[in-house]
Amino acid sequence: MIVLGIESSCDETSVAVIKDEELTANLIASQDFHTKYGGVVPELSSRAHLQIVNPLVKDALKKSNIELNDVDLIAATAGPGLIGALLVGLTYAKGLAFGSNKPFIGVNHIEGHIFSGFLMPQKPEFPFLSLVVSGGHTLLLLVKSFTEIYKLGSTVDDAAGEAFDKVAKLLGLGYPGGPKIQNAASQGDGNKIDFPVSDLKQKLNFSFSGLKTAVLRYVQSQGGVAKLSEQDKNDIAACFQSAAVKALTRNVKRALELYDVKTISVVGGVAANAFLKSEITKLAEKYKKNVVIPDLQFCGDNAAMIAFRGKSLYESGVRDTLSCKPFPALSENHFLEI
Ligand code: KG4
Ligand code: ZN
């Protein structure tokens, strides 16, 4: 089976081809020009997707030594994401499917992330714990099969990646904040300032806005960001990163005590964070679980995960229609309740 996947939910246009079990292309065009605006400008993002999606599809087919006619299924991200950006990839994919008379599946971007560990040589084993940490979402899930996903907790305010981005902005480190914070933190002392680690004690939920405010108050107490030395900024980044990672790993630990799982999988853009990876790996060793954290190319937004999710849904019997619409947000009851 050959699946063509298309992703355009935010600032990456990506096209991938999966031939049976093999990923033969995963092309990612990142819109780096948003950096100068300090965040993604939705309208500019849509225009950039529009310019690149068609050539990228051609390149992905060529790289895989196939033609559109050889494709058995077309899958594209339907949401959540920026509505204009989603519209470009989704409408393009539907047009391609309609014109070539191929089946089409609209994929949920978060589900794409959840199953992105299956793109790795060592795959998650069901049931597994999935920690989804991206710029827009923070979710802890119990994944029993390709179609049974239970929500154990989610953020009640900011997403983990959003907190990294906001703190980086506050410290004047630039965008996207995650890699900048990680870099600064690697040269800082993570024990210098005691930032609060939120503990909601309600389900396995997360909160990051208190931590973000604590960083702001601390910076203000030092006379503002202009008064901070490079070393001060590195220390703040390290202490923030340490508190944010503690908040994430604590709920993973609690979930491990409540549910019998085989694997812990951390996915989404923040899964690229080296400190988070090492803390999760330590936890997994203690609880004797496998860890699956996708390679960098599968942590951020990519079409390989969309093609894989489309394929797994299709193989589970799901048949979508071309009337599938783009959606900006994940509905509250999208996942099953435990
Ligand atoms: O999954 P993703 O690429 O896009 C969304 O669907 O949101 O995640 C992007 C997020 C951004 O907030 C970015 O700052 C964060 O992932 N991120 C990181 C790192 N690399 C990217 N956060 C912490 N440490 C990193 N190394
Ligand atoms: Zn994402």
For ligand 1, whether the C-beta of 269 sits within 6 Å is: yes
Ligand nearest to the CA of 162: 1
pLDDT digits (tens, 9 = 90+) for 61-98: 999 999 999 999 999 999 999 999 999 999 999 999 99
List b or e across 145-169, with b for residues whose CB sees 16 or more CB atoms inside 10 angstroms.
Answer: ebeebebbbbbebbbbbbbbbbbbe
Distance (Å, rounded) from C-alpha 248 to C-alpha 273? 12
The neighbouring-strand residues paired with 271 are: none
Q: Indicate if the pLDDT at residue 201 is higher than 80.
A: no
Instruction: Give the distance, in angstroms, between the CA of residue 277 and the centroid of all CA atoms in the same chain.
Output: 14
Range 149-171 average pLDDT: 97
CB atoms inside a 10 Å sphere around CB 90: 25
Distance (Å, rounded) from C-alpha 150 to C-alpha 44? 36
For ligand 1, whether the C-beta of 301 sits within 6 Å is: yes
- pLDDT at residue 181, rounded to an integer: 98
- pLDDT at residue 316, rounded to an integer: 95
Distance (Å, rounded) from C-alpha 82 to C-alpha 40? 10
Distance (Å, rounded) from C-alpha 325 to C-alpha 161? 26
Closest CA to 79 of 45, 106, 49: 106
Range 101-114 average pLDDT: 98
- pLDDT at residue 202, rounded to an integer: 72
pLDDT digits (tens, 9 = 90+) for 303-319: 999 999 999 999 999 99
The DSSP bridge pattern shows strands 73-79 and 138-143 to be: unpaired
CA of 110 to the centre of ligand 2 (A): 7
For ligand 1, whether the C-beta of 179 sits within 6 Å is: yes
Closest CA to 85 of 117, 44, 121: 44
- pLDDT at residue 137, rounded to an integer: 95
The neighbouring-strand residues paired with 4 are: 17, 74
The CB-side HSE value for 136 (13 A sphere, CA atoms) comes to 17
In ligand 1, the atom with minimum distance to the C-alpha of 165 is 14
Q: Indicate if the pLDDT at residue 199 is higher than 90.
A: no
- The residue type of 217 is R
- pLDDT at residue 166, rounded to an integer: 96
Q: Indicate if the pLDDT at residue 217 is higher than 80.
A: yes
Mutate to test the pocket of ligand 1, among 10, 11, 134 (most ligand atoms within 8 A of CB): 134
CA of 198 to the centre of ligand 1 (A): 20
CA of 232 to the centre of ligand 1 (A): 23
Question: Could you write out the three-class secondary structure of 196-236?
Answer: CCCCCCCCCCECCHHHHHHHHHHHHHCCCHHHCCHHHHHHH
Q: Are 267 and 116 in contact (CB under 8 A)?
A: yes
For ligand 1, whether the C-beta of 7 sits within 6 Å is: no
For ligand 1, whether the C-beta of 265 sits within 6 Å is: no
Closest CA to 325 of 79, 10, 82, 12: 79
Protein residue with its CA nearest to atom 7 in ligand 1: 135
Q: Indicate if the pLDDT at residue 38 is higher than 90.
A: no
For residue 275 the two structure tokens come to 């400190």
Q: Indicate if the pLDDT at residue 37 is higher than 90.
A: no
Largest CA distance in the chain: 63
Structural domains of the chain sorted by starting position, each given as residue range(s) with its CATH number in brackets? 2-114+298-337 (3.30.420.40), 125-293 (3.30.420.40)
Mutate to test the pocket of ligand 1, among 8, 14, 164, 212 (most ligand atoms within 8 A of CB): 164
CA of 267 to the centre of ligand 2 (A): 9
- pLDDT at residue 198, rounded to an integer: 83
Share of the chain above pLDDT 90, in %: 94
For ligand 1, whether the C-beta of 79 sits within 6 Å is: no
Q: Indicate if the pLDDT at residue 36 is higher than 90.
A: no
Helices then strands, each counted (H, E), the chain: 10, 11
- pLDDT at residue 44, rounded to an integer: 95
- The helix or strand, by DSSP H or E, that contains position 82, with its residue range, turns out to be none
Q: Which residues contact 175 (CB under 8 A, 6 or more apart)?
A: 34, 35, 38, 39, 165, 168, 169
For ligand 1, whether the C-beta of 210 sits within 6 Å is: no
